[in-house]
Amino acid sequence: MTARELVVLGTASQVPTRQRNHNGYLLRWDGEGLLFDPGEGTQRQMSFAGVSAASITRICLTHFHGDHCLGLPGVLARLNLDQVTHPVDICFPAAGREFYCRLRDVVPYFAGLREQPVDATGAIPLPDTAFEFEAIRLDHRVETFGYRLIEPDGRRILPDRLAEFGISGPDVGRLQREGSLRLPDDRVVTLDEVSTVRRGQRFAFVMDTRMCSGVAELAQDADMLVIEATFLDTDAGLAHEYGHLTAAQAAQVAQAAGVRTLVLTHFSQRYADLEDHRLEAAKYFDGELVVAEDLMRVPVPTRR
């Protein structure tokens, strides 16, 4: 089977701790490697996690606060050093282009970089992808976007229905390609009659934001939602002041959106023990709940 999993490279918000590196998340999706928010130390964490630079095909920055982007020069340098030959798309808020250029130009330019500045909510035209990719504006202290990956729906063939019509062998492939098949008795069978919709999978990434409509829109029907839970509800005032979510808020939006696997991350250094984050989120979310740890691997749940 092809691999779809999240490799957690770092989980710290603002200040790294002895146990938590700055942000960094690699989504392995079939042959793609989408690196989200490479904070300081990401290149070293990649080594610990067994992630090669050659596996990165896209880089996505939510915003230009240091804990989400200061690892970019090291990653670009590694792409250059390892002589990665495939192009790498990089998505970033267009309003922060000045900061992006400073980070990019710290190291020798990686020739394969394709810039995809995001200046409005909507689809991002990434080339050569088998999925749709979009950015949605969030509510932080600087312009910030969340990202969502959407796999198109497919079809699941129903063997019992094929048997009813006596369809087998090469005719099955012909029916799938052409959408219909004429039988020897002149009946026409359509693909809809022998299959059902196989819903495409969805992944959402939400960082550094107050609660807003964009959070709910990104999370809707996600098979996996990776979302910041910087604070606990006891510090909800601080969360709102500094543009963040609490574990309870993240869990509530996930429950309402029908999320299957909820991954909490981006924890303030004020919390040494994250068990309270788990307990707080579990009050509101009854799906698979993961409190992220550095170097953890979380599989994208299989299709329903």
- Known binding-site residues equal 63, 65, 67-68, 140, 208, 266
67 is catalytic: yes
DSSP category for residue 301: P
| CA dist., res. 286 & res. 264, Å (int) | 14
| Integer Cα distance of 205 and 226 in angstroms | 5
Instruction: Please give the C-alpha separations between residue 22 and each of 67, 73, 259, in angstroms, as whole numbers.
Output: 6, 14, 25
Is the CB of residue 118 less than 8 Å from the CB of residue 87?
no
Q: Which of 37, 67, 89, 294 is catalytic?
A: 67
CB–CB of 240/231 below 8 Å? no
- Joined together, the tokens standing for residue 117 give 């500045």
Of the candidates 301, 224, 220, 303, which has an alpha carbon nearest to the alpha carbon of residue 265? 224
Annotated binding-site residues for Zn(2+) read 63, 65, 67-68, 140, 208, 266
Which DSSP symbol is given to 22? B
Q: Mind telling me the catalytic residues?
A: 67
